[in-house]
Structure 1
Amino acid sequence: MTLLAEHTTTTAAAELEAAEVAVLPVGSTEQHGPALPLGMDHMAAEAFARTATGHDDAVVLPTLPVGVSEHHRQFDGTLYVSAETFERYVAETVSSLAEHGVRKAVVVNGHGGNSGALRRAARTLRQDRTAFAPPWNWWDGVEELADDLFDEDGGHADAMESSLLWHVREDLVRPDELEAAEAGASEGWGESVHGAALGFDTIDFSDSGAVGRPTQADPEKGERLFETGRDRLHALIDWLADRPLEACWPRDHR
């Protein structure tokens, strides 16, 4: 199917009638160090989601580009909303689509900070029997491959993210800034002392805003990541399309 936003209200009717699954890309607009654009997360989510236009039973929704990113607020250009606002916005977007008869969705997520809100939104939609909308984090779909490709714990503007976007949007990656990103990066996400988390904001533990080893980035590795993630997403869409709606709802008490 084509993108929903490119239809008229009359042509959308036939598309929605044939659709079993909606694909909703969500991400963020936030700092990703000196080498990657602010839109890294929503651009990645949108790139994966748009591959679903080849599915006859899927409809791709417009991207939600601002997410739960307050922990990046000290870096220029970062935009954010509260977790409560984001959760409600996603839930109401999916709910509005359910009124048109599409009650199963995959939320393609490009930003880790959105994860909690997305899980809560999915739980509420399912509990109310409005829609079944599990979130899909692209990095979870490529975790094993990323472990083979890169020597890093990573977590943000790292080699994995840099490689993926280098493949998807080569024009927006600044390879000459990868060394600067890594020079000011932390090895892993956050900071702790005796088991207590101290780094509440990214700037508390990363001078450049990056976390990981972005100098390992490579566009060919990014292509492998993208193809692997795409295949996992398509398998999820197929599974969800075949799953009866009644099987998606919470089980009754014994």
Structure 2
Amino acid sequence: MYLADRTWPELGEYFAEESLALVPLGSTEQHGPHLPESTDHRIAEALAREAAERTGFLCTPTINVGVSPHHRQFHGTMWVEPGVFRDYVESLTRNLTYHGVDRVIFVNAHGGNVQHLREVGRRLRDDGDAYAIEWMWDESIPDLVDDLFEHNGPHGGPKETAMMLHIADELVREDQFERARDDGIRNFEDYEGARKFGARTFYDAIDNTECGVIGDQTDATREKGAELFEAACDQLVRLAEWLDEQAYEDLMPREHV
């Protein structure tokens, strides 16, 4: 069920029976010369809406702009400051609790959001208002990602490229795959410029890659994207069903020993 497409009486019927919501979040930021800046939030929304369709749970509108200042040097990247993002997501989630939702899955597709969503979840849980957890699609299927791609890369690589070929292939610039690979970093694990003596020495993506890409996109296909999407969606469905079955008091903080 997609919240924005329903009437308030229809939503009242949902809230009378259910208390779980899926909130998709991503970013609007550079993903190299081959992928649109909507990549992250399109992946999050596609997964959340499909999982909602399969389970009957509620999916909210997508939060399209996240914490992305580390991509700011590339044209068009949008971001909000971390504190603003946390406060906004918390306020939105408290809005859901007003309607009776007490458990939320942040369906996330942007690494820069992770720690901030975890912090929001802690705030809500500590206050006893809701149990909200962050879910990152590729972290739910790490073995499959590794099996499908030799150089999957953390940003703009073949896993995101394959997903976008499956979700919105008309937005993927397939003629730019080789440029993205050659002007970026194919294998980040072997890249020595990112660390010195155990310390991370970079703050922005452009410190490492002139085209903003890490990974080898030439290994991405629509078929692999479909496989990734189905596997990740299955994990999200299972998570939602598990969370729905939990007693609320078991999700709240335990008493001091």
Does the alignment reach a TM-score above 0.5? yes
Q: CA RMSD in A?
A: 1.3
Aligned match for 1:199, one of 190, 197, 202: 202
5 Å-filtered alignment, 1:207-218, equals 207-218=210-221
With structure 1 as the length reference, what TM-score do the two structures score?
0.96
> Displacement of 1:122 after TM fit?
0.5
> Displacement of 1:224 after TM fit?
0.4
- How many percent identity over aligned positions? 40
With structure 2 as the length reference, what TM-score do the two structures score?
0.95
Stretch deviating more after TM superposition (214-223 or 2-11): 2-11
5 Å-filtered alignment, 1:23-102, equals 23-55=22-54, 58-102=57-101
Confirm or deny that 1:250 pairs with 2:253: yes
> Displacement of 1:57 after TM fit?
5.1
Structure 1 gaps of 5+ residues are none
Aligned partner letter, 2:4: A
Aligned match for 1:222, one of 204, 214, 225: 225
> Displacement of 1:210 after TM fit?
0.5
How many residue pairs are counted as aligned between the two chains? 253
Separation in 2 of the partners of 1:226 and 1:55? 14
Separation in 1 of the partners of 2:225 and 2:146? 13
Aligned partner letter, 1:188: F
Secondary structure at the aligned position of 2:22 is classed as strand
Query: Following superposition, which runs of at least 4 residues in structure 1 exceed 6 angstroms of deviation?
Result: none
CA contact (8 A) 1:32 1:40 kept: yes
Aligned partner letter, 2:231: T
Q: Indicate the residue corresponding to 2:180 in structure 1.
A: 181
> Displacement of 1:53 after TM fit?
2.7
> Displacement of 1:18 after TM fit?
2.2
Separation in 2 of the partners of 1:73 and 1:93? 25
CA contact (8 A) 1:182 1:208 kept: no
Separation in 2 of the partners of 1:200 and 1:105? 31
Separation in 2 of the partners of 1:72 and 1:167? 25
Aligned partner letter, 1:97: L
Q: Structure 2 vs 1, CA of residues 230 and 153 (structure 1 numbering), >3 Å: closer, same or farther?
A: closer
Confirm or deny that 1:145 pairs with 2:148: no
Aligned partner letter, 2:195: S
CA contact (8 A) 1:145 1:225 kept: yes
Aligned partner letter, 1:206: T
Q: Indicate the residue corresponding to 1:8 in structure 2.
A: 7
CA contact (8 A) 2:152 2:158 kept: no
CA contact (8 A) 2:22 2:104 kept: yes
> Displacement of 1:56 after TM fit?
5.3
Structure 2 gaps of 5+ residues are none
After superposition, give the CA deviation of every residue in 1:193-249 in whole Å (9 maximum; x if it has no partner). Answer: 122211110000011111111111111001000000000000000000100111110
